[in-house]
Every structure is written in structure tokens, then in C-alpha cells.
Structure 1
Amino acid sequence: MLSNLLLLWLAAFPLMGSPGPATLSLASLGATYGFRASFRYLGGIIAGTTAVLLIIATGVTAVLAADPVVLTVLQIAAAAYIVYLAWKIGTARFGDLAAQVEGGQKMALVSFVAGFGLAIANPKAFAAIGAVYSGHVIFAGNPALDAAAKVAALTLVIAIVNTAWLAFGASFARYLTNPAIGRPVSIAFALLLIASVGLAMAGG
């Protein structure tokens, strides 16, 4: 059982933790607004990605595959939000970002709802989690226990990798108050976000 769990984690961390719309948005917001200001968004990403995991574990993806209109609409909305997020990050004003966040001007951008909505419609999440979930067995011969164990194990991965990406981005925040440094870095994050949408939609 332990060896099966370790194999699951060895596959899950690099696949689920690789760059994608959710992880890059966390890094971008962390770099632009800091860890604490982006914490609610992180909670939304974790909750939304866990919901994707539960959708896969309960077989609801089969229903979505049979009638994918709703999922497609959600994915288009998520892609539009990522483009908007990239624009806001790429054009962010430096030097007073913390004050803007504390004053509530950027709360919609870093809200729980925004993170949850992006995560639940993230094509990469469905692909990566689906591959790991279906490709590993922890408790052979006991489907219910196996499903529960995989959900618990992958929920832990979701929390760790997304928190790590936000922390990674936030580690740059103190350098970005200088426009000479912050402007090119923010534009780079914005371009990576837009590229992640294209790759995720193409792969999804």
C-alpha cells in the first residue's frame, strides 16, 4: 500500500505541479500583490481543483464528455478571465500595490470566487488529475477505499503545489516595487499566463 501511495505521489507532483493556468496565475498574483493579499485566491484554486478531483473520482466527467457544452462555456470564461488577469498584471502600477489591495481596489482580482471559477474550468486540471487518478491503484480489490485514499492523497498534492507556486511568486514581490525590475517581470508573467491558456485549451 505504501509503495503504491509513493508511486502515486511521484507521478502527481510533477504532473499536477507543472506550469498551467492555475499555477501561473498564483505565481503572477503572488509576485504582483504578495502572498497574504492573494491567500483567498489560493483558497479558491485549492477548493476548485479539489472539486475537479471529486468530479473525476465520482465519474461525473463521463456526463460532461457526453454533453460538453457547459464545460466548454466554463473553459472559455476561464480563458477570458486569464487574459484579463494577464492584462491587469502586465499593466499594474508599482509602488502602491499593497495599498491598493488593502484598500479593496483589487479584491475581485484576488478573491476566492475568482480562484474557484478558474480552477473548476481549467482543462489542465482535468487532464493531469484524470491521468494520475486513473493510472494508479492504492488498494486493489477495494474500490471504495481506493477512491477515498486517492482523493485524500491528491488533495494533499493540490494544497502543496498551489501554495508552493504562490510562495514562489511572492518571493519576487519585494523586488517588483522598482518599476525597472517590476515592469519586465510582470509582462513576462502576463505572457506566460496567456501562453498557458493556449496550451491548456489545445491539450484539453
Structure 2
Amino acid sequence: MEGLSGFLLAAVALAGSPGPATLSLAAASAAFGAHQTRGYLVGIVLGMVAVMAITAGGLVGLLLALPGMTSVVTVAAAIYFLWLAYRIASAPPLVEGSSPGRPPTFLGGLGLSLINPKGYAAMAALFSSFVLVRERLAVDVGLKIAVLTIVITAVNVLWLLSGTALTRFFREPRSNRIVNILFALLLLASVAVAML
């Protein structure tokens, strides 16, 4: 367990930094409120647990070793993130008493995590760079998944609450447009950085 403090520090830095999941979660909670965005949050967290299992099991390496598969995965993820950025940038301002549309769902959060390049890169770095329990691979992987699930949940709750704090900016059309476009650009920038 000598690597736990370094692992925790790296986990908070990687999970807490702006990325597709955190930015879309903040934008969704700003637009729909924390209560209506809970399912999306749970989907993101459970999707990341699946990403951890996929990464730890070596399936990502096997998939990307297939000829041409890296390009297919990259293009599919890019199309999804462009669509998501467009949805965020073009969302209308909130009007008191009216519905801003449908909030993102559990399945949307799950899907986002499963195609998020930042998630796979972060998990690969964390799983390959730290050993928490020596000579007991299953225990080491299980402990990493447990610790990361707690960190990812806490970080995403903070992003959800920070988005809720921005709700007032979503009620005025001009500031709404600025915040939406800023979130969309940050989302695209975070994906570009993760894919490099």
C-alpha cells in the first residue's frame, strides 16, 4: 500500500481535470438541475467502472491492436463528441417555469464514459503506473477500482454541484450563449488533448 498516496493524488488530478464527462455533467446540471441529472451522473460513474475493468483486463489493447480499429474508434468518438458539443452550444436559455428539454439519461452517461478517450488514457496510466498490493494482482486491481470509484464519484458530484451553481447564467440569453459555447469549446479541447 506504499503507493496509495501517489495513486490518490494522480487519481484526483486525472479524474478531476476538465474532460468530456465532467464538462457535460456540469453543463447538464446547470441546464436541468442536480436532481434531474442524477441518472446521468450514475451512468458516468458506472461507465467508468466498466472502463476500469476493460482497461485492467487488457481488452483495450487487444481491440486497438486490430488493423484499422484505432481509426474506427477515433472517428466514432469524434462524431459523438462533436454532436454533444453542438447540443451544449445550441441549448436555449432557461426560462422560469418552462422545461429546457429532456435531461441527459443514465444511458447517455454510461455511453459517454464508454467512448471517452480521456477515461481510457487516465485509467491506463493509473493502472500501469502504480502498484498498491504487490504480488496479488487481483487484489491490486480490485483495490484500484474501489479507490477510483470513490474518487470519480466525489469529483463528479463536485462538477455536478458546480454546474448547478451556474444555473443563473443559463437564464439570461446572452450569458447562456457564452457559457454554452465555452462549455462546448472546452469539451472539444479536452477531447483533442486526450486523443493526442
TM over 0.5: yes
Q: Distance in 1 between matches of 2:93 and 2:18?
A: 25
Separation in 1 of the partners of 2:81 and 2:144? 29
Q: Which residue of 1 aligns with 2:121?
A: 127
Query: Is the CA contact 1:25–1:193 (under 8 Å) kept in the aligned structure 2?
Result: yes
Pairs within 5 Å for 1:12-31: 12-31=11-30
Per the alignment, residue 153 of structure 2 pairs with 159
Kept after mapping to 2: 8 A contact 1:50/1:158: no
Match of 2:59 in 1: 60
State the Cα distance separating 1:97 from its structure 2 match.
7.6
1:84 corresponds in structure 2 to 83
Structure 1 unmatched ranges of 5 or more: none
The verdict on how the C-alpha distance between 1:98 and 1:52 changes in structure 2, with shifts beyond 3 A counting, is farther
The answer on whether the counterparts of 1:75 and 1:122 sit within 8 Å (CA) in structure 2 is: no
Greater mean alpha carbon deviation, residues 189-198 or residues 42-51: 189-198
Matched letter for residue 79 of structure 1: A
Deviation larger for 73-82 or 178-187: 73-82
On the 8 A contact 1:8/1:132 being kept in 2, the answer is yes
Residue aligned with 2:99, SS: helix
Name the residue aligned to 2:167: 173
Report the alpha carbon displacement of residue 75 of structure 1 after superposing the two structures with TM.
4.3
Note closer, same or farther for the CA distance 1:43–1:69 as it changes in structure 2 (3 Å cut). Answer: farther
Closer, same or farther: CA 98–72 of 1 in aligned 2, 3 Å = farther
Equivalent position of 2:112 in the other structure: 118
1:34-73 matched pairs, under 5 angstroms: 34-67=33-66, 72-73=71-72
Backbone CA RMSD of aligned residues? 2.1
Report deviation, 1:98: 6.8
Contact (CA 8 Å) 1:16, 1:129: kept in 2 or not? no
SS of structure 1 residue aligned to 2:94: coil
* CA distance in structure 2 between the aligned counterparts of 1:28 and 1:36, rounded to whole angstroms: 14
| Distance change >3 Å, CA 167–CA 5, structure 1 → 2 | same
Q: Which runs of 5+ in 2 are unaligned?
A: none
Q: Verify: 1:106 aligned to 2:102, yes or no.
A: yes
Deviation string 1:89-123 (CA, Å, 9 cap, x unpaired) is 2222223387325xxx424xx01111111111111
The answer to whether the 8 Å contact 2:20/2:187 transfers is: yes
Cα shift at 1:71: 6.2
Q: Distance in 2 between matches of 1:95 and 1:128?
A: 34
1:163-182 per-position Cα deviation (integer Å, ceiling 9, x unaligned): 22222112101332122322
| Inter-CA distance 69–35: structure 2 relative to 1 (3 Å threshold) | farther
Q: Which residue of 2 aligns with 1:190?
A: 184
Identity %: 41
TM superposition score normalised by structure 2: 0.88
Residue 138 (structure 1) aligned with residue 132 (structure 2) = yes
User: Which portions of structure 1, spanning 4 or more consecutive aligned residues, are displaced by more than 6 angstroms?
Assistant: none
